[in-house]
Amino acid sequence: MKVLVINGPNLGLLGVREPDIYGNTTLADVEKRLQEIADSVNCTLEFLQSNHEGVIVDRLNAILTDEPVDGIVINPAAYTHTSVAITDALRACSKVPAIEVHISNISSRESFRHESLTAPACTGMIAGLGVNGYEWALRALLKILKK
Ligand code: DQA
C-alpha cells in the first residue's frame, strides 16, 4: 500500500512560519510521525512539498500513468482557495481516496479562507486540529483502504 503526502506552498516553513497559527512543529517532524505510523502497518509513504501549483498537478496526473498510489493526504495550503487546476487533477484521480488537511480552522479565519475549491474533490477534510490532523488523515485513509 502506498500513500502520497502532498504539502503546498509555504508549508516547508512549518515551525518557523506564523507559529501562533501553525505551531512549532516542523514539516520534517510531521513526516517522521507519519512514517512511524506507516511503518507499523507496512505502508509506504511518498512525501512532496512544493510551492508550485504545476508540480503538484504533475504529480497527481502521474498517479494515472506511471506513478500510481493507493491514497492521498493533501494540504494544498493557499491553493485550497484558488486552484481549479489542483481541483481538476484531484477529480481526475477520484478513484484514489484523498483526505484534505488544514492545520488551522479555515472556517474561523479570514473570509477568503472559508471556501475550499479542492475539498469537494476529496473524500473528506480535517481542519483545525493542528499538525495532528495529518495523523488523523493518514489513519482515516488506512481505514478506508482496508475496507
Ligand atoms: C492552511 C490554511 C490555508 O488557508 C493557508 O493558506 C495555508 C495553510 C492550513 O494548513 O491551515 O498555507 O492550509
Tell whether ligand 1 has an atom less than 6 A from the beta carbon of residue 104.
Answer: yes
Please name the residue whose Cα sits nearest to atom 12 of ligand 1: 77
Question: For residue 147, what pLDDT is reported?
Answer: 80
pTM: 0.98
Q: How many Cβ atoms from other residues are within 10 Å of residue 145's Cβ?
A: 16
Distance CA 116, CA 76 (A): 10
What residue ranges of the chain have pLDDT lower than 50?
Answer: none
Tell whether ligand 1 has an atom less than 6 A from the beta carbon of residue 82.
Answer: no
Q: What HEC string does 57-68 produce?
A: HHHHHHCCCCCC
Return the C-alpha cell found at 97: 481516496
pLDDT of 90-132, one tens digit each? 999 999 999 999 999 999 999 999 999 999 999 999 999 999 9
Please name the residue whose Cα sits nearest to atom 7 of ligand 1: 77
Using the atom order of ligand 1, give the atom closest to the CA of residue 127. 11
Tell whether ligand 1 has an atom less than 6 A from the beta carbon of residue 75.
Answer: yes
Tell me the one-letter amino acid at 141.
L
Question: For residue 81, what pLDDT is reported?
Answer: 98
